[in-house]
Homo-oligomer: A and B are copies of this chain.
Amino acid sequence: MKALESHAKNMLKAAGLYCTRARLCVIMALLRENRPITQEQITQALDAPFDRVTIYRTLDSLGKADLVHRVFLEERACHYELSHHCSKTQCHPHFTCTQCGQTHCLTDLKLPLAHHHGYVIQRQQVRLAGLCPQCR
């Protein structure tokens, strides 16, 4: 069994979820891509064909188990990624290049958690835009 697949299986086991073909494929696709992608991109990246609805429901169950979360970029469709590079309080910043349009996960950029009088801040998401190393 490939490393990716056993990794995916372990994630599902640890989360107490049924280990289904669809979930394995989706997790492996997200592991391979390693950036936020849409349902449609996931569907195309899969080894086997699955229905759109299955993908959405898979993402939903993985989301409830905190294995996956949504990333909101400046596009109509939601993007999804694995949560393994995020802490509970803070997702890593996402950078989108205004030139080439690519989005990068800046997993090694740690920003201080904001605080504001009167508010309890439990979660922070940061979106950055500009020029990536290739385009600048």
Contact = CB atoms under 8 A, between A and B. Distances in A.
Interface stretch (A5-13, A37-45, A54-62, A116-124): A116-124
A11 B67 CA distance: 46
A95 B119 contact: yes
A125 B126 contact: yes
Q: How large is the interface on A (under 10, 10 to 19, 20 to 34, 35 or more residues)?
A: 20 to 34
A119 B98 contact: no
A49 interface: no
Contact of A98 (B95, B122, B128): B122
Interface of A: 70, 72-74, 93, 95, 98, 106, 109, 111, 114, 116, 118-133, 136
